[in-house]
Amino acid sequence: MRSLFTSILLIAATSSFAQPDKIRQTIKTKADAEDQKVIAWRRDIHEHPELSNREVRTSALIAKHLQSIGIETKTGVAKTGVVGTLKGNLPGPVIALRADMDALPVLEDNNLPFASKVKGEYNGKEVPVMHACGHDTHVAILMGVAEILSSMKKELKGTVKFIFQPAEEGAPVGEDGGAELMVKEGVLDNPKVDVIFGLHISSATEVGTITYRSAGVLAAVDGLRITVTGKPSHGAMPWLSVDPILVSAQIITSLQSIVSRNVDITQNPAVVTIGAIQGGNRGNIISEKVEMLGTVRTLSPGDETKVIKRINEIATLTAQAAGATAVVECPYGIHYPVTFNNVELTNRMLPSLIKTAGQDHVKLMPAVTASEDFSFFSEKVPGLFFSLGGMPKGQDPAKAGPHHTSQFIIDDSGLKVGVNALCNLVFDYSNEKK
């Protein structure tokens, strides 16, 4: 029933779309012509990755390109970000397009001629650096989009803001950064943005395929710290102690009941993970304190509030029952809201994606419990964030190198689909009759 309803909706929406086919064909021709240039940019950026808030070389490359094609360019936004503004010759809306620039502290294990050999500093330690999440492709795609749209300025209605964002993976300890800082610095103002579009490459989705979802598409993330304080004792005399390790074990076990008993999993998934635990230093000493670190993922603001409330109740009351205390900090260190695709906007722009990739290559995706700080943009203005295939044709997705790992790899042939998609979204949104 859902697939039938979706098909009817798509047919109706597609038939009413206003962009002339001539514009779409012009975009395709230009994207084909510059494809090798986009691939070259991507490979250069991949070979020279930079960590969050350190994207100096990448920013310089972007700024030089934008200036060379006549786009008003501002640098140093949210530390290393770049924002380009292109004003079309015709009146219309202000549309923002976003690409993230930063790499990760990962050692690349791919036999590529442009594989990274770069090292950098992460929280005071020397680390290998790799574009292990595809941000190099996002930058190259948006550079290509900027070149095409600047060459079509006469046909362009309204204004396009090209937002090249640093630190999507999170700023270093003690620093601000990312989309949240860009919003604070006014990147969505002057001129005020009406709508924002963004994409993310996927190593497990076949080249040529676009996947999308309306409403909550990527999870809110809340860092979690729970500190349990008990009473220390000799390990041979546990009856003299209030053992914080035992209490922590009970808390960890009980936390798993939140997802299975408190969250309506028919609506949205949720995750409560404890990923680190530290307490004590010898086997024959019962320690005084235990610290647990974790992550919470939810796909609606209501679920986020409910899950955090239950974490507090379970941790504090379990500790109290044992004669210990527990202090819960959530969010701790990191908080990204749900990446929410505006439902009306998604329905309106779905025909644009279909005309770009073809009906059979645009697919509904499940909600993803990974997170994205694009959410800070779409929290302020209507947004649409979709996924772009980067896996070689015919490959088994189960064997694809996962994101954030040393085996992550992308097929360059999928980049021009992203270039076409973002260009078409701009023209389709600005041309659609309301």
Active site residues: 102, 168
Q: Which of 350, 348, 343, 342 is nearest to 377 (CA)?
A: 342
Determine the straight-line distance between the first and last CA of the chain, rounded to whole angstroms: 29
- φ, ψ of residue 388 to 5 degrees: the values are -120, 130
Strands (E), 319-370: 325-329, 335-336, 339-341, 362-364
Length of the chain: 434
Q: 166 and 80 in contact (C-beta within 8 Å)?
A: yes
Burial class (CB in 10 A: 0-12, 13-18, 19+), 401: middle
Residue 145 and residue 142: Cα distance in Å, rounded? 5
Q: 84 and 161 in contact (C-beta within 8 Å)?
A: yes
- DSSP assignments along 153-183, one per residue: TTT-EEEEEEEEES-TT-PPTT---HHHHHH
